[in-house]
């Protein structure tokens, strides 16, 4: 805790017999600065000689043993096995007062900082590198980036889900000041930032808090961890003790730090199933009510903050209000969308495409709010761990050819036209193939190689956000799938916010390899309906291009339960969006 006359230090180590501070301010002398014992296992010392930028560690005497530890709450470290650094929290945020748009006007872009953009091929990406590519996201139209975990992890290369020091920003990426500069730069461009946090486990490697003051039971992790059967996770016996007050406060303060100190606009909690249960069946009420406590306080103090759970169990209570027994998250990653849509898109034969799966994916919602779900066709999990980018899943030997390109972008079109908060994974917009690896940077040359695909994603994003003022219905809660043709693998659905000109939207999907000509579907009103988007348009470098109806007049013959009907044509594996001009 830096102040005008030095730096104050406080440490929780209830089983230590003595604690000293060693650092660059006392030549690392073991006995020069003993700390004073306080209540509840805390130790304290105010050091006049210490200043911003000094390195330090704690030296704990525990019985006849002595151990050197990093500060568990250090905001800055030299590396995951190095020293803690006295961090200067002051930062010039300027006039930064960014607020997220409403949830129905969000498009998220998931980013792994180490691979998103690298200025040098053999180094990890940094915050400064990523800032140089933010204008690409502006042009694409996305308005939120979701960053995979940034807290200090073991080594220099990682997905980030192995947190070693949860209060310190990864030094390889540029540390805490680098992150603040990134958030400020994103906000200046109208882009919000969501931070991925990992509270279902810590470590498991380079974990300095393991048996921190040498107390443990059953050979487990000591004061920060469960020391019984509740410790078990898919990542070792590393689950924090959600029932212990000091550990709860540790996690609570960390969540608040990202919001309060770094100005992030939301948090995405990694795999909450392992916060609220041991193995998906043995429940942990302490983990559930910890999430409730954090989420309620953040939403009370910072209205509009987006709190996302990765739970993937289709559990309504994740996004219910805490007063109803819910975990009080804003939204959750939706397994009910990603898995069926990828399945339908990657089937080798049209006969295997199950429209029931597709319809359920389009219409599913949690509770009464469609925006309580984040929908996607690619994420870091879905394009690794034995799975690939969707074009490579569709055609492993030819991921950029017509079939893979059309079906993967058709799946993205379903995402952008279904109710929910859509999310892209980095590089999806220029047909990145293969699978995600933290050692393999994005190939930005593909942006120039596939400009049509980039334009397709840009136009989808712009229509989803009603940037042209003619697709307002895509920001709405509601959808009705009103036309279905199992033989031709064709669906039509109706989207709206308030109804009316420029609001009602009709989406038509063709999930078959056949061109469908002069095909009649229902329309909700008469008048002229204009084709706003055709994923098979030649401007997108489409392979299967056939005749389309750019403008049609819906006549008053009822059809599909609608009051009017119209005739259109649609290319193989493509999506059409129709709407009407608003009144001038």
pLDDT at 250: 98
* Euclidean distance between CA atoms 383 and 468, whole angstroms: 32
* Euclidean distance between CA atoms 573 and 350, whole angstroms: 10
Mean pLDDT of 182-194: 98
Helical segments of 68-221, H only: 113-116, 127-131, 134-140, 175-188
Q: What is the crossing angle of helices 402-417 and 355-363, to 10°?
A: 40
For 416-437, write each residue's pLDDT tens digit. 999 999 999 999 999 999 999 9
Token pair in block for residue 33: 């600065």
For 525-553, write each residue's pLDDT tens digit. 999 999 999 999 999 998 988 889 999 99
pLDDT at 267: 98
How far is the first Cα of the chain from the last one, in angstroms, to the nearest whole number? 59
For 461-488, write each residue's pLDDT tens digit. 999 999 999 999 999 999 999 999 999 9
Q: How confident is the model at residue 453 (pLDDT cuts 50, 70, 90)?
A: very high
Task: Give the DSSP per-residue string, 324-358.
Answer: GT----SEEE-HHHHHHHHHHHH-SSGGG--HHHH
pLDDT at 387 over 80: yes
pLDDT at 546: 84
Token pair in block for residue 443: 């190939």
Q: Which residue has the tokens 């080594």?
A: 155
For 351-377, write each residue's pLDDT tens digit. 999 999 999 999 999 999 999 999 999
Nearest to 321 by CA among 292, 342, 364: 292
Of all residues in the chain, what percent carry a pLDDT higher than 90? 98
* Euclidean distance between CA atoms 410 and 127, whole angstroms: 33
Mean pLDDT of 291-313: 98
For 110-169, write each residue's pLDDT tens digit. 999 999 999 988 899 999 999 999 999 999 999 999 999 999 999 999 999 999 999 999
Label residues 127-163 b or e (16+ Cβ within 10 Å = b).
bebbbebbebbeebbbbbbbbbbbbbbbeeebbbbbb
Q: How many Cβ atoms from other residues are within 10 Å of residue 451's Cβ?
A: 14
Task: Please count the CA atoms within 13 angstroms of the CA of 126 that sit on its side-chain side.
Answer: 15
pLDDT at 440: 95
* Euclidean distance between CA atoms 363 and 507, whole angstroms: 13
pLDDT at 51: 97
The torsion angle over the Cα atoms of residues 492, 400, 136 and 497, rounded to 10 degrees, is 10
Measured over the CA atoms of residue 74, residue 80, residue 85 and residue 88, the dihedral's sign is: negative
pLDDT at 410: 98
For 329-338, write each residue's pLDDT tens digit. 999 999 999 9
C-alpha distances (whole Å) from 258 to each of 49, 429, 577 are 29, 28, 39
pLDDT at 308: 98
Nearest to 457 by CA among 513, 411, 394: 411
Residues 566 and 531 sit within 8 Å (Cβ to Cβ): no
Helical segments of 424-484, H only: 445-449, 451-464
pLDDT at 545: 87
pLDDT at 584 over 80: no
pLDDT at 135: 98
Residue 148 gets which letter from DSSP?
Answer: P
Mean pLDDT of 23-28: 98
Average pLDDT of the chain is 97
Label residues 387-411 b or e (16+ Cβ within 10 Å = b).
ebbbbbbbbeeebbeebbbbbbbbb
Q: How many Cβ atoms from other residues are within 10 Å of residue 550's Cβ?
A: 11
Mean pLDDT of 48-76: 98
Mean pLDDT of 217-222: 98
């Amino acid at each position: 805790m830096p102040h005008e006359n030095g730096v104050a230090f406080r440490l929780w180590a209830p089983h230590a017999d003595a604690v000293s501070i060693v650092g660059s301010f006392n030549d690392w002398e073991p006995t020069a600065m003993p700390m004073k014992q306080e209540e509840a296992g805390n130790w304290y010392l105010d050091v006049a000689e210490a200043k911003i930028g000094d390195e330090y560690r704690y030296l704990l005497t525990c019985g006849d043993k002595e151990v050197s530890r990093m500060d568990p709450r250090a905001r800055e470290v030299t590396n995951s096995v190095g020293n803690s650094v006295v961090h200067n929290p002051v930062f010039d945020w300027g006039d930064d007062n960014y607020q997220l748009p409403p949830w129905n006007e969000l498009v998220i872009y998931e980013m792994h900082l180490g691979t998103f953009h690298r200025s040098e091929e053999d180094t990890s990406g940094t915050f400064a590198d990523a800032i140089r590519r933010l204008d690409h996201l502006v042009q694409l139209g996305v308005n939120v980036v979701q960053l995979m975990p940034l807290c200090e992890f073991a080594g220099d290369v990682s997905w980030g889900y192995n947190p070693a020091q949860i209060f310190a920003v990864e030094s390889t990426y540029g540390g805490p000041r680098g992150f603040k500069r990134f958030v400020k730069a994103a906000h200046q461009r109208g882009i919000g930032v969501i931070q991925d946090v990992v509270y279902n486990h810590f470590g498991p490697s380079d974990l300095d808090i393991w048996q921190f003051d040498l107390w443990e039971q059953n050979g487990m992790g000591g004061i920060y961890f469960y020391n019984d059967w509740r410790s078990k996770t898919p990542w070792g016996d590393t689950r924090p003790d959600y029932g212990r007050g000091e550990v709860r406060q540790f996690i609570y303060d960390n969540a608040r730090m990202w919001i309060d100190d770094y100005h992030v606009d939301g948090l995405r909690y990694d795999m909450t199933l392992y916060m609220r249960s041991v193995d998906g069946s043995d429940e942990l009420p302490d983990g559930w009510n910890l999430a409730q406590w954090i989420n309620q306080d953040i939403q009370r103090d910072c209205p509009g903050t987006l709190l996302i759970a990765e739970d993937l169990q289709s559990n309504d209570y994740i996004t219910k209000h805490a007063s109803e027994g819910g975990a009080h998250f804003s939204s959750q990653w939706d397994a009910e969308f990603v898995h069926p849509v990828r399945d339908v898109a990657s089937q080798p034969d049209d006969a295997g495409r199950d429209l029931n799966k597709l319809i359920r994916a389009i219409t599913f919602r949690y509770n009464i709010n469609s925006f309580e779900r984040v929908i996607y066709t690619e994420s870091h999990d879905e394009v690794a761990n034995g799975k690939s980018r969707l074009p490579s899943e569709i055609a492993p030997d030819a991921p950029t050819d017509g079939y893979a390109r059309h079906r993967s972008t058709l799946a993205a079109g379903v995402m952008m036209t279904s109710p929910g908060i859509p999310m892209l994974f980095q590089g999806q917009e220029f047909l990145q193939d293969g699978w995600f690896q933290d050692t393999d940077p994005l190939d930005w040359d593909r942006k120039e190689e596939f400009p049509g695909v980039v334009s397709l994603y840009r136009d989808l994003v712009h229509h989803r956000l009603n940037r042209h003022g003619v697709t307002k219905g895509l920001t709405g809660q509601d959808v009705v799938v009103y036309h279905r043709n199992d033989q031709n693998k064709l669906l039509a659905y109706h989207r709206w916010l308030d109804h009316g000109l420029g609001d009602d939207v009709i989406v038509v999907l063709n999930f078959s390899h056949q061109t469908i000509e002069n095909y009649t579907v229902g329309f909700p009103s008469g008048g002229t309906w204009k084709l706003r988007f055709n994923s098979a348009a030649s401007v997108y470098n489409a392979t299967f291009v056939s005749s389309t109806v750019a403008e049609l007049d819906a006549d008053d013959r009822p059809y599909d339960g609608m009051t009017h009907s119209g005739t259109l044509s649609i290319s193989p594996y493509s999506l059409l969006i129709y709407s009407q001009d608003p009144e001038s």
